[in-house]
Amino acid sequence: MSTGITSLANLPEMGAIYPFAGFEWLFALIILGFTIYFVMSQIKMEQGDIDEELAAPQMAAAPAE
């Protein structure tokens, strides 16, 4: 099986090798935005858990004598 390409000399004339060529910057911004959103939501959720634990601490079981 062959692709029919025998030389890379005319590669710029062939066009894009994969779809969405030229949109890498957009995908990088989307990933960066999602990462920042995810980290901030995790920090907010963890802070809420910490606040709940500080407001109503659990009673520790007394050690057996």
Q: Distance between CA atoms of 30 and 26, rounded to whole angstroms?
A: 6
Answer yes or no: is pLDDT of 7 > 60: yes
- Backbone angles phi and psi of 38, in degrees to 5: -65, -45
11-48 residue pLDDT tens: 777 766 777 888 999 999 999 999 999 999 999 999 98
User: Could you tell me the pLDDT band of residue 8, with boundaries at 50, 70 and 90?
Assistant: confident
